[in-house]
């Protein structure tokens, strides 16, 4: 077993490492059987080839003195092998509580943040190696399946991916836990046990100890079968991803897309396009329910919106679907003068001209503004009824004005239109000394309607 077991693991490692030039490897080292086996295999591989090797252990702040023991064990093992050792500390329980996310997800994010930090600080590190195995792959696929994933979820853990410009590799992804433990036993490789790994309150542990054994009873070759499935589905997923990337490049501008184009695209392409739109704004991955909500929005009425995770909102306005991050916009207030009034925060323009003024000037100014802004809205007011100076400002709590014979609250108007928080923050209130005269997209105040001395107002925006 010793020779064949070691050969199997080393063959698996060499298949992945020999495909690429490697300057240095950072190995994620928990001290468990998987990472202990990987560290020893990498130590042998790198020592023979002059490749730099270092290891990092992440202390999650979860298991008290047991976690301290793990860190000390990992440090001692690395010192024995003359491998550079790093230990990163994270208060996972506090971080999970603050973010509203689970312990497992938060711990994983902390580990990869530590990997990225150390790799970024050392130019010798070209690759990060983690000890995911075939059992981990099966558990991940089953967890994704139970949660109702799509094809990408069924692809499981990729053999490699990129993390902040560094390649993450999983050399043992095709090797079973049983074979790894056997390799450690036959080669007298010490490792430690994490007591939380037996706690089935954690979803992955439940799958590992309750669900997967039953599947292996039905099919002893289930791990191999699942690995074969993930490989086949990964090929399909890569093809769909390339098609979606081409569709995205052709149709998306400034994180917005024609809603009709998205609605009529093949659903696998449309769903991936939404995921890519989301990825422009967040490192988190949207769930299928969020993607479906955005796809439904593409066929909804203008003015509709959908709230998404991580403070992102999808809105449909004038036939365009846009994803944007909810931000606390700074209030604005600008004076208005005849002619062009252009502003940058937020980006819009207001053009004022008396009815009957030089048509040549208006034509020139209008063409200039239309080259900058895609959309415009027009109204006219009785200039004789304007009180004081004109100005434009952002929305304020309690804003209301009377038009169409009714007093209307701006908040209700925005709610009825389904405007997002960002759109509300950027909505201009054109005012005089007596209050709001006009809100573009809504009505003109009754008190300035009619008459002969008309002032034309045009609002330009994107």
Determine the Cα–Cα distance for residues 141 and 119; give it in Å rounded to an integer: 28
pLDDT in tens, 325-335: 766 668 899 99
The mean pLDDT value for 423-439 works out to 93
Please state, in angstroms and as integers, the Cα–Cα distance from residue 360 to each residue in 352, 353, 365, 367, following that order.
14, 12, 9, 11
Determine the Cα–Cα distance for residues 270 and 256; give it in Å rounded to an integer: 13
Q: What is the pLDDT of residue 277?
A: 95
Q: Which residues on neighbouring strands pair with residue 143, listed in sequence order?
A: none
Residues in contact with 358: Cβ distance below 8 Å, sequence separation at least 6, in sequence order: none
Determine the Cα–Cα distance for residues 305 and 288; give it in Å rounded to an integer: 17
Determine the Cα–Cα distance for residues 193 and 176; give it in Å rounded to an integer: 17
The mean pLDDT value for 259-270 works out to 96
Q: What is the pLDDT confidence band of residue 3, given thresholds at 50, 70 and 90?
A: very low
Examine the pLDDT at 55 and tell me if it is beyond 50: yes
Burial 333-354 (b: 16+ CB within 10 A, else e): eeebeeebbeeeebebbbbbbe
pLDDT in tens, 102-118: 888 899 999 999 999 99
Is this prediction's pTM over 0.85?
Answer: no
Examine the pLDDT at 83 and tell me if it is beyond 70: yes
Whichever domain contains 286, its CATH number is: 3.30.465.60
pLDDT in tens, 224-243: 999 999 999 999 999 999 99
Q: Is 205 found in the same domain as 66? A: yes
Q: What is the pLDDT of residue 18?
A: 80
Q: With pLDDT > 90 as the criterion, what percentage of the chain qualifies?
A: 68
The mean pLDDT value for 425-429 works out to 92
Determine the Cα–Cα distance for residues 151 and 293; give it in Å rounded to an integer: 18
Q: What is the pLDDT confidence band of residue 40, given thresholds at 50, 70 and 90?
A: very high
The encoded tokens of residue 409 equal 């609250």
Q: Last residue of some domain: 325, 342, 371? A: 325
Q: Among candidates 76, 96, 95, 98, which has minimal Cα distance to 85?
A: 76
Q: Last residue of some domain: 277, 309, 325? A: 325
Whichever domain contains 357, its CATH number is: 3.50.40.10
Q: Among candidates 244, 214, 217, which has minimal Cα distance to 151?
A: 244
Q: Is 152 found in the same domain as 8? A: yes
Look at the alpha carbons of 198, 201, 207, 212 in this order and tell me if their dihedral is positive or negative: positive
Q: Could you tell me the maximum CA-CA distance found in the chain, to the nearest angstrom?
A: 99
pLDDT in tens, 196-206: 788 888 888 99
Answer with the residue of higher pLDDT: 195 or 163. 163
In a domain, 243, yes or no: no
Q: Among candidates 313, 311, 310, which has minimal Cα distance to 256?
A: 313
Burial 401-426 (b: 16+ CB within 10 A, else e): bebeeeebebeebbeebbbbbbbbbb
Q: Is 319 found in the same domain as 424? A: no
Q: What is the pLDDT confidence band of residue 157, given thresholds at 50, 70 and 90?
A: very high
Residues 108 and 285: beta-carbon distance below 8 Å: no
The mean pLDDT value for 407-435 works out to 88
Q: Is 306 found in the same domain as 394? A: no
Q: What is the total count of domains within the chain?
A: 3
The mean pLDDT value for 293-307 works out to 88
Determine the Cα–Cα distance for residues 191 and 36; give it in Å rounded to an integer: 6
Q: What is the pLDDT confidence band of residue 1, given thresholds at 50, 70 and 90?
A: very low
Q: What is the pLDDT of residue 2?
A: 42
Domain holding 288, by residue range, is 252-325
In a domain, 92, yes or no: yes
Q: Is 126 found in the same domain as 67? A: yes
The encoded tokens of residue 284 equal 């988190």
The encoded tokens of residue 58 equal 């992440």
Whichever domain contains 27, its CATH number is: 3.40.50.620
In a domain, 242, yes or no: no
Q: Is 265 found in the same domain as 194? A: no
pLDDT in tens, 120-154: 999 999 999 999 999 999 999 999 999 888 898 89
């Amino acid at each position: 077993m010793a020779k064949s077991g070691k050969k199997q693991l080393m063959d698996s490692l060499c298949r992945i490492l020999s495909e690429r030039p490697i300057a240095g490897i950072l190995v994620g080292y928990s001290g468990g059987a998987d990472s202990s086996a990987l560290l020893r295999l990498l130590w042998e591989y790198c020592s023979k080839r002059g490749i730099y090797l270092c290891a990092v252990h992440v202390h999650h702040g979860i298991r008290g003195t047991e976690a301290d023991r793990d860190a000390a064990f990992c440090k001692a093992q690395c010192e024995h092998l003359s491998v550079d050792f790093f230990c990163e500390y994270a208060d996972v329980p506090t971080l999970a509580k603050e973010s509203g996310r689970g312990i497992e997800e938060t711990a994983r994010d902390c580990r990869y943040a530590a990997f990225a930090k150390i790799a970024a600080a050392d130019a010798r590190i070209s690759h990060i190696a983690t000890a995911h195995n075939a059992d981990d792959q099966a558990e991940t696929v089953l967890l994704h399946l139970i949660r109702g994933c799509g094809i990408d979820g069924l692809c499981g853990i990729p053999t490699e991916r990129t993390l902040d410009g560094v390649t993450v590799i999983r050399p043992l992804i095709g090797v079973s836990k049983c074979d790894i433990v056997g390799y450690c036993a036959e080669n007298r490789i010490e490792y430690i046990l994490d007591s939380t790994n037996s706690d089935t309150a954690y979803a992955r542990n439940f799958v590992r100890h309750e669900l997967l054994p039953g599947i292996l009873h039905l099919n002893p070759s289930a791990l191999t079968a699942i690995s074969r499935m993930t490989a086949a589905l990964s090929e399909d997923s890569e093809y769909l991803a390339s098609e979606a990337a081409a569709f995205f490049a052709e149709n998306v501008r400034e994180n917005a897309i024609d809603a009709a184009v998205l609605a009529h695209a093949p659903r696998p392409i449309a769903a991936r396009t939404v995921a890519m739109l989301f990825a422009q704004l967040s490192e988190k991955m949207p769930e299928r329910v969020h993607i479906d909500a955005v796809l439904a929005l593409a066929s909804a009425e203008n003015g509709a919106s959908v709230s998404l995770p991580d403070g992102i909102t999808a809105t449909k306005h004038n036939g365009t679907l846009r994803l944007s991050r909810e931000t606390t916009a700074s209030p604005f207030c600008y004076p208005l003068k005849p002619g062009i009034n252009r502003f940058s925060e937020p980006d819009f323009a207001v053009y004022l001209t008396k009815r009957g003024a030089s048509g040549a000037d208006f034509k020139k100014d209008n063409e200039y503004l239309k080259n900058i802004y895609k959309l415009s809205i027009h109204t006219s007011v009785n200039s004789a009824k304007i009180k004081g100076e004109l100005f434009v400002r952002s929305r304020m709590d309690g804003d209301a004005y009377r038009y169409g014979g009714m007093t209307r609250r701006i908040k209700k108007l925005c709610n009825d239109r389904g405007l997002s928080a960002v759109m509300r923050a950027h909505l201009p209130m054109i005012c005089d000394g007596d209050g709001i005269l006009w809100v573009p997209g809504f009505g003109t105040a009754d008190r300035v309607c009619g008459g002969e001395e008309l002032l034309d107002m045009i609002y330009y925006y994107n």
